[in-house]
Amino acid sequence: MRFYTEYLIFQTSQSREYINITPQVRLVLEKSGIQEGMILVSAMHITAGVWVNDAEEGLLADIDAWLEKLAPFRRDYHHHRTGEINGDAHLKSLLVHHEVVVPVTAGKLDFGPWQEVYYAEFDGRRPKRVIIKAMGE
């Protein structure tokens, strides 16, 4: 069995940003030398997410508006008694999830034609980490 782990660091200029990290995941797979297995891509923070979906700017704008509607910024979250003001970012993270597992077959990400891995930042402007861990043979 082979295991190969890398960490990405993002410091976005916006509070919310959506970054296509498929090239980085592909690079980790190459370095791992794995032909068959799985890759876990997981945010290491609780105000960020990871998803697989389309690389289309209009859709990203739709997703952003939709997340703000379902998990809106509000001043009065209980969480804010701690001094934080990012309660909405926690809820957005729960909604989209913080991780994906990508299948690897014949040395490739075994994706359909439109699948891309995104890092979703919900509380940016500071360093945030993502782990990419490949496991297989």
Rounded distance, CA 90 to CA 48, Å?
A: 8
Rounded distance, CA 52 to CA 74, Å?
A: 27
Amino acid at 15: S
Question: According to the binding rule CB under 8 A, does residue 95 interact with its own copies?
Answer: yes
Closer to its own copies by Cβ: residue 27 or 70: 70
Which of 19, 26, 42, 73 is close enough to bind its own copies by CB under 8 A? 42
Put residue 78 in one of left, alpha, beta given phi > 0 → left and psi -120 to 50 → alpha: alpha
Question: According to the binding rule CB under 8 A, does residue 26 interact with its own copies?
Answer: no
Question: According to the binding rule CB under 8 A, does residue 33 interact with its own copies?
Answer: no
Joined together, the tokens standing for residue 7 give: 């960490």
29 within 8 A of 137, measured Cβ to Cβ: no
Residue ranges in contact with its own copies by CB under 8 A = 1, 3, 5, 36-38, 40, 42-46, 51-54, 56-59, 61-63, 66, 70-71, 77-82, 87, 90-91, 93-101, 103, 105, 110-112, 114-115, 129, 131, 133, 135-137
